[in-house]
Amino acid sequence: MARHRRIASALHNFLGTYTSRYSDYDGYWLFGMAVDTIDDLDIDLLHAGDSSIGATPDAFVVRLATERFADQIEKAGLSISCLREARLSITKSPVVTRGVVNGHVCVGNDIRFAVRAILDLGKTHETATSVFVAPHNPRTEFRSTRHKRPSGPQGGTVDRRED
């Protein structure tokens, strides 16, 4: 497959995996946890820097973006070194809308995720998607079954399910 098709595919797959339910923080969808603090965020996907270190949803947004991007580039059979620049722009619409989360009507915002990559030869590739995001609500959301719960006193797991 030609390199331009592989990068286009990698960018598309990156946005799909990054915005999916598999992007979770403490077992809940990452973007529901971070929607209140995201307005306009620009992430350098090649150099996360120290801002990606931390235990907050906002820091995890950055760290996960760089990890998922590198993973999709590798899966496409490309090397990060073939990229001159790669940026993710996350923009929250200021308009509050209604959407459905697990069968419940919720208020939230549309968030636009746009990724742009410039190859070493100067060719630019871009793709974008928009997703409805409601603020995290443990009454309407389910914790991921992949989430590892802390060990209890007897070494078992503690079910921290919120009602």
pLDDT tens column, 80-90: 999 999 999 99
Predicted local confidence at residue 158, as pLDDT: 34
Predicted local confidence at residue 159, as pLDDT: 34
Give 150 or 66, the one with higher predicted confidence: 66
- Give the residue from 116, 19, 120, 49 showing the smallest Cα distance to 78: 120
Predicted local confidence at residue 49, as pLDDT: 56
pLDDT of 147 > 80? The answer is: no
Categorise residue 155: left if φ over 0, alpha if ψ from -120 to 50, beta otherwise: left
Let me know: does 140 contact 102? Beta carbons within 8 Å.
yes
pLDDT tens column, 41-54: 999 999 865 544 55
* CA distance to 41, 138, 140, 142, 144, per residue, from 163 (Å): 32, 7, 9, 10, 14
